[in-house]
Amino acid sequence: MGAPFVTFEGIEGSGKTTQVRLLSEYLAGKGIPHLVTREPGGTPIANEIRSLLLSPREEPVFPETELLLYEAARAQHVRSVILPAMASGTAVLCDRFCDATTAYQGFSRGIDGARIEWLNAFAAAGLVPGLTVLLDIPPGEGLARVSSRGFRLDRLEGESPRFHQSVREGYLRLCAQHPERFARIDGRLPVDDIARAVRTAVSTRFGW
């Protein structure tokens, strides 16, 4: 199966990106070989799909189109970056993965869960993370953080508060369904407390 694969999930503004960076710094300090990547993205083709997906546009994007684009980016990313890294003994920290598709395109956009599960497994070549860190935060707080960054909101960030609430509920449902894989951490805690909880989760799971 190769080196560990850890994913980070949460709604917009939950602090995933910061925590991925802090965990990476911690692992680097311990000399643990690892790679940081994200979805959608991680390869030139997947990055082009990312900009297709996230830039606000006039033409309406149908949920089915959105779903297939996320899966296409994933198929490329898994095969060209994640699996080769794991096979060579490099651990992978990934900012979002299949659970994001289940939460966003399934719970929020309303696409049937069985189809999403099938497509996730197909795109990810059956790869399932050894640990998924869920940073849980109420949408109001997450979106306030995103707005305070002062950048124009992307297509998904600009969705309604109700949309983001269902994404959060979707993640909590996934967490309840897979307690052996998920570590849920309160995203409202101070950054250092979250980082400590993340380290505890990874050392319990992988002995890091």
Q: Is 128 a binder of ligand TMP (CB under 6 A)? A: no
Could you say whether residue 166 binds ligand TMP (CB under 6 A)?
no
Regarding 104 and contact with ligand TMP (CB under 6 A), the answer is: yes
Largest CA distance in the chain: 49
Among 93, 84, 78, CA closest to 21: 93
* Span 3-22, contacts to ligand TMP by CB under 6 A: 12
Query: Could you tell me which stretch among 36-44, 75-83, 86-94, 138-146 binds ligand TMP (CB under 6 A)?
Result: 36-44
- List the one residue from 156, 181, 189, 199 that touches ligand TMP (CB under 6 A): 156
- Applying CB under 6 A, the span of 20-28, 33-41, 142-150, 187-195 interacting with ligand TMP comes to 33-41
In sequence order, the 6+-apart residues with CB closer than 8 A to the CB of 128 are 98, 181
Which distant-in-sequence residues (6+ apart) come within 8 Å of 33 by Cβ? 3, 89, 90, 91
Task: Extract the tokens encoding 180.
Answer: 């052996």
Contacting range for ligand TMP; rule: CB under 6 A; set: 20-28, 100-108, 130-138, 182-190: 100-108
φ, ψ dihedrals at 91, nearest 5°: -70, 155
Question: For ligand TMP, which stretch binds (CB under 6 A), given 25-33, 97-105, 142-150, 198-206?
Answer: 97-105
Residue closer to ligand TMP, measured from CB, 55 or 200: 55
CA distances from 21 to 35, 42, 144, 207 (A): 11, 15, 21, 19
Q: Is the dihedral of CA 192, 194, 200, 201 positive or negative?
A: negative
Is residue 101 within the footprint of ligand TMP (CB under 6 A)?
yes
- Give the residues lining the site for ligand TMP (CB under 6 A): 12, 38-40, 70, 95-96, 100-101, 104-105, 156
